[in-house]
């Protein structure tokens, strides 16, 4: 199966607009939700809070799990994405990548129709799938996620 990457993403909505980031990828510039990999010894919810902070400089409060997405990008790489919805602490703050984030060049608010019109620029098909599931009202309580760590003796 190759490598399995556990990733997180955030749907952040305000005034009928959604935050997307522009990622530098091997295929050029691509649009994505604020997203990234879960790091070692990090809970899934801690990962989404950290990724949103790194990619937008905003403080994200995860409130619901929208879904879990299994995406076979190629024979070597499979992605398991946990997509969250939630709020940010300050909607007056302009989203922008943290200075130490080299892969994200910008973060902006986009209306739904523009996100749909720019389908060819999406980083993966999961970008629109997450948005569609969010708009359809799919949501699960965060309690479905259990972060279990082995007790230290």
| Residue 37 to residue 26: CA distance in whole angstroms | 17
- Phi and psi torsions of 62, nearest 5°: -65, 135
72 closest CA partner among 34, 125, 115: 125
Model confidence over 110-144: pLDDT tens digits? 999 999 999 999 999 999 999 999 999 999 999 99
Q: Is residue 26 part of a domain?
A: yes
Q: Is residue 149 part of a domain?
A: no
Q: Is residue 12 part of a domain?
A: yes
Q: Is residue 81 part of a domain?
A: yes
Answer yes or no: is pLDDT of 1 > 60. Answer: no
Question: How high is the pLDDT of residue 101?
Answer: 67
Q: Is residue 153 part of a domain?
A: no
Question: How high is the pLDDT of residue 106?
Answer: 94
> Is residue 146 within 8 Å of 55, Cβ to Cβ?
no
- The per-residue pLDDT of the chain, averaged, comes to 94
Question: How high is the pLDDT of residue 87?
Answer: 97
Question: How high is the pLDDT of residue 95?
Answer: 94
pTM equals 0.93
Query: Total domain count for the chain?
Result: 1
CATH number of the domain that residue 29 is part of: 3.90.79.10
Looking at residue 89, the DSSP 8-state letter turns out to be S
């Amino acid at each position: 199966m190759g490598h399995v990457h556990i990733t997180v993403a955030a749907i952040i909505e305000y005034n009928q607009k959604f935050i997307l980031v522009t990622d530098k990828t091997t295929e050029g510039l691509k649009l994505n939700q604020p997203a990234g990999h879960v790091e070692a010894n990090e809970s899934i919810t801690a990962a989404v809070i950290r990724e949103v902070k790194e990619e937008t400089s905003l403080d994200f409060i995860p409130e619901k799990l929208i879904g879990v997405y299994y995406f076979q990008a190629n024979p070597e790489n499979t992605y398991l994405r946990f997509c969250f919805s939630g709020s940010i602490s300050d909607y007056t703050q302009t989203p922008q990548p943290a200075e130490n984030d080299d892969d994200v060049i910008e973060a902006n608010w986009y209306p739904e129709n523009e996100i749909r019109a720019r389908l060819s620029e999406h980083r993966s098909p999961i970008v629109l799938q997450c948005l569609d599931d969010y708009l359809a009202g799919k949501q699960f309580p965060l309690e479905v996620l259990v972060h279990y760590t082995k007790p230290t003796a």
